[in-house]
Amino acid sequence: MAMNVGSLDGDEDEVVSAINTTPLVDVMLVLLIIFLITIPVVNTSIKVQLPHEAIEVRETKPENIIISVDASGGIYWNDLKMANTQALVDRLKTISRKDPQPEVQIRGDLTANYESVGRVVYAAQRAGIVKVSFITEPPPKG
């Protein structure tokens, strides 16, 4: 058995008091590689096309039909009040036969029930109208 008791000439090795940063650098490089690999997967795991908000100014053509729904659920064809939904469907069926078919634009009151506006959309669908749009006010500037 051998034991190191020091050097023969009396020079002893000094204690190294500096921190060994090699393991720290190794761990940091491993973490950096892991983050570089996982971050692109987290950001773009599901490809979706997000909508962009844009205010589109549309021209009102004279052949377009404007149907309004007031707060109490009344349905108006331009300024003419419709008796019921069936009367609206019958009138829309005659319009749907035109070529080209005019666009139906729905103006729903802000306080109207969704059911009232939904009945107008359903009436347009039953009549065979292809183009249905909603008229809204643009948000205030600033």
Whether the predicted pLDDT of 120 surpasses 80: yes
Q: For the chain, give the percent of residues with pLDDT over 70.
A: 70
Q: How many helices (H) and strands (E) does the chain have?
A: 3, 5
Q: For the chain, give the percent of residues with pLDDT over 90.
A: 25
Predicted confidence at residue 29, as pLDDT, reads: 94
What are the tens digits of pLDDT across the range 2-15? Answer: 555 555 665 666 67
Better-scored residue on pLDDT, 124 or 42: 124
What are the tens digits of pLDDT across the range 32-71? Answer: 998 888 776 655 444 555 555 556 666 666 688 888 888 8
Predicted confidence at residue 31, as pLDDT, reads: 92
Report the C-alpha gap between 53 and 49 in whole angstroms: 13
Fold designation for 65-134: Nucleotidyltransferase; domain 5 (3.30.420)
Strands 65-69 and 104-108: parallel
Average pLDDT across the chain, whole number: 79
Predicted confidence at residue 20, as pLDDT, reads: 83
Is 123 exposed, middle or buried, given 0-12, 13-18 or 19+ CB atoms closer than 10 A?
Answer: buried
Distances (CA, A) of 99 to 21, 52, 61, 65, 69: 80, 32, 15, 14, 26
Domain ranges of the chain: 65-134
pTM above 0.85, yes or no: no
